[in-house]
Amino acid sequence: MLAAIFSSFAASLLAPGLYRMNGRAAGWFLALLPVGLTLYFGSFIAAVSSGEVFLFSYDWAPSLGIRFSFSVDGLSLLFTILISAIGALIIIYSSGYLAGHPQLGRFFVYILLFMGSMLGIVLADNLITLFVFWELTSISSYLLIGFDHEREAARAAALQALLVTSGGGLALLAGFLLLGHIGGTMEISALLESGAVIRSDPLYAPILLLVLAGAFTKSAQVPFHFWLPGAMVAPTPVSAYLHSATMVKAGVYLLARFTPVLGGTELWVFALTTAGATTMIVGAFLALRQTDLKLLLAYLTVSALGILVLFIGLGTSEAIIAAVVFLLGHALYKGALFLVVGIVDHETGSRNVRELSALLSAMPLTATLAAMAALSLAALPPAFGFIGKELLLEASLGAQNGAALVTIALVVASSVFVAAAALIAIRPFFGTAVPSQKLRHEAPFTLWLAPMVLSVCGILFGAMPSLVETPLVRAAVQAVVREPVSFHLALWHGPNLPLALSALSLVCGAALYAGRRPVHDAAARLQITSPWGPQHWYGQVLAGMNHLAQRQTQLLQNGYLRSYLLIIVAATVALAAGKLFGALRALDITRELDVRFYEWIVVGLIPAGALTAILSRSRLAAVAALGMVGYSVGLIFVLFSAPDLAMTQFMIETLTVILFVLVFYHLPRFTALSTRTELVRDAVTALAFGALITIVVSIGAGIQLYPKISDYFIEYSVPLAHGRNVVNTILVDFRQFDTFGEITVLGVAGIGVYALLKLRARKENP
């Protein structure tokens, strides 16, 4: 299983080399991988349809509860077969559609990365594993959408998709962490058995909202729907793959997978049905305003995703059955229609439906494929889409709450689907030729193979639904509802209310198509909320983020070392002051100090030297004052019987003073660059930091976590180091590597001083 999942990532590494060696034929070779994956996952059908679930687990970070865990049940099996089978067709189609493109090898890399990421999502049985693959789909889709990176529109759309879906991904991660904390495990298969415990927990509502944020952004639910049509700047094979079986279905998969854990509550039903119904209507309405066939299909996808979310939210067995059947049918006809539109665009150079007409004689096969796929979109028999629509209407009529509203909304959306199907299947291929239209020949085999397979499957599964009923649909439904279900898929169930409503949608759709010009114009004029819609707010938020980043950079990363030091010191004081200043009460400052008068003099020289260095207007005087501070510290070492440390201190101070004098001697005099306010600010910050360090040292001096090590050095100085000077033995023997490092520093500094002296000599004697 691990090899199957990561094979796509491995193949992506080989794709560029394979393309350089084989050109367009590389697509056929690379398509063998998803074909093999389809056969591999297909080998699970018999066992999974009988109720078995396969679990695979590999260690990753077991101490944190993170494992590479994967499971194959009915739901994941349905998605894996769609992802791998359609992926094979897309790769073949791409080799013809992008033939001659200089970056075709790179495209194969991106599409294989994306396919592997999607397989990881639907097979993951660990929350963190799922999240990793979830984010990989965002990254790889960013690369695919922005494939034509020289176009500004492509870059903007790719960034928009990445920001929206990644933002939802962060919310999803937070929800997963809370879910794992409450459930006591990161394994999804175990969490599926703990639904009652999780739903009764006080954190259930935050978890649900966080998970929904991730699912809604990925599956383009209102108000996050705007990124999906923008992604249509991607090449048509990308659009077809994203819309049919992969990217946008990831959120739907997530909701279906976690239905046993989070579903069934009032909040779940309200959130999903409200978002789903709104998205269904908004997507259908926006589709009426489109003349670009890809944008038309994109908004139809938004509406279809709303339908799926709506029926998952209803949560009844009938609703889940309808959602699964509709999902399968949608993957077939939407992939085929996108690819057909790609053929039309490839051969005529246009996707605008008003610029296309009378293509039937030049492209009869493409017209036939468009008609077959449009049958499913319009839900006409014998297409599989007809079965899905009947089940949706039946489930909506049986909804526990708001059945009438759900049914009416579904009929309205279905009417738009019918009108769109007629627009795609009839308008470009019949009628009078448009004068400006470029008529070309039929598409090559590599272009019509994929839509032909998908269209034929859509008709075949409708005429013989038993082919997918038990092995795929029933197993997927049982994986969601977690109990055996009994249903039968058929084209004809006799005259009933769903059939009548379906006929009503056909009539309304035909009317919309007949009046398509005034309907389009009316919908285009209805832009009441557009200036304040989600696309507008996305732009405002993005501009605000950029402005904040600029201001933050000006403040925190302005290139001035003094600003960096000020920020670091001020942040340290602000974060630690409250805790440490509160510890002042614990310090004993009443005891008498045994300090002699000459020790007070030495101690007084240190702040006097520091103050002189600050106030001096001469660099040499400031350097001399700093030297006084260093030599005073050395005198303290002498007074407290540490001559070795004193000698080291004297050497360092002497070297430092010489170095500073040589460097600063030729610089101009100090100039007052700081205002009085800035000087006061710096003085307060410095005093606060000095007080903080004083408190830290004072508190640290009174803390003894472990026995003193000085006794060890005193005891073993002679027997181990053969020396009676304890400080010497510590520096030379016990801590010899530290001393060696200090000597090295001194040596490097000495070399620097020598180099400066030689440089000065050359300047004086040119």
Count the domains in the chain.
3
Average pLDDT value for residue range 667-694: 83
Same domain, 542 and 600: no
Q: Phi/psi of residue 440, each to 5°?
A: -130, -175
Instruction: Show which of 515, 537, 558 is a domain's final residue.
Output: 558
**482 & 592 share domain:** no
Residues 353-395 have pLDDT tens digits of 888 888 888 889 999 999 999 999 999 989 999 999 999 999 9
Whole-number Cα distances in Å, 176 to 50, 109, 205, 318: 30, 30, 13, 29
Q: Count Cβ atoms below 10 Å from residue 361 Cβ, excluding itself.
A: 10
Q: What Rg value do the Cα atoms of the chain yield, rounded?
A: 36
The domain boundary residue, chosen from 539, 558, 577: 558
| Predicted pLDDT of residue 253 | 95
In a domain, 547, yes or no: yes
pLDDT of 434 higher than 90: no
Check whether residue 565 and residue 661 sit in a common domain: yes
Sign of the CA dihedral running 345, 350, 352, 354 = negative
In a domain, 429, yes or no: yes
Tokens of 746: 């001194």
Structure tokens at 2: 């691990």
Strands 54-61 and 66-72, by their bridges, are antiparallel
Q: How far apart are CA 460 and CA 451, in angstroms?
A: 14
pLDDT at 560: 82
Instruction: Provide the pLDDT confidence category of residue 523 given band limits of 50, 70 and 90.
Output: confident
* Beta bridge partner(s), residue 56: 70
Domain presence at residue 542: yes
126: β partners: 187
User: Of residues 648 and 129, which shows the higher confidence score?
Assistant: 129
**Chain-wide mean pLDDT for the chain?**
87
Question: Does 321 share its domain with 371?
Answer: yes
The predicted pLDDT at position 588 comes to: 60
Q: Is residue 314 part of a domain?
A: yes
Does 716 lie in the same domain as 662?
yes
Range in 168-182, 406-420, 589-603 with the lowest mean pLDDT: 589-603
Same structural domain, 577 and 463: no
Does residue 341 sit within a domain?
yes
Range with the largest mean pLDDT of 324-328, 439-443, 641-645, 724-728: 324-328
Residue 758 confidence class, pLDDT cut points 50, 70, 90:
confident
Q: By residue range, what is the domain housing residue 501?
A: 289-526
For residue 397, the model assigns a pLDDT of: 92
pLDDT digits (tens, 9 = 90+) for 193-203: 988 999 999 99
Choose among 234, 260, 258: nearest CA to 247: 234
> Which amino acid is present at 133?
F
Whether residue 420 lies inside any domain: the answer is yes
- Determine contact, residues 84/38, Cβ cutoff 8 Å: yes
At 103, give phi and psi (nearest 5°): -110, 25
Say yes or no: 550 and 565 in one domain: no
- Mean pLDDT score, 737-765: 77
Flag whether 34 is in a domain: no
> Does 552 share its domain with 617?
no
Please tell me whether residues 471 and 544 are part of one structural domain.
Answer: no
**pLDDT at 479 exceeding the cut of 70:** yes
Q: Is residue 50 part of a domain?
A: no
Q: Tell which residue, 124, 37, 132, has the closest CA to residue 87.
A: 37
606 and 575 within one domain: yes
Contacts of 657 (CB under 8 A, 6+ apart): 623, 624, 626, 627
Three-state DSSP class for residue 48 = helix
| pLDDT band, residue 538 (cuts 50/70/90) | confident
Q: Are residues 648 and 501 in the same domain?
A: no
Of 210 and 654, the structure prediction assigns the larger pLDDT to 210
The mean pLDDT value for 434-446 works out to 73
The average pLDDT across 250-255 equals 94
Same domain, 754 and 671: yes
Q: Residue 399's pLDDT is what?
A: 85
Residues 562-580 pLDDT 10s? 888 888 988 888 888 777 7
Q: d(Cα 81, Cα 457) in Å, to the nearest integer?
A: 14
Q: What is the pLDDT of residue 461?
A: 94
Supply the DSSP string of 580-639, one letter for each residue: HHGGGGGS---SPP---HHHHHHHHHHHHHHHHHHH-S-HHHHHHHHHHHHHHHHHHHHH
Shortest CA distance to 134 belongs to which of 169, 161, 110? Answer: 169
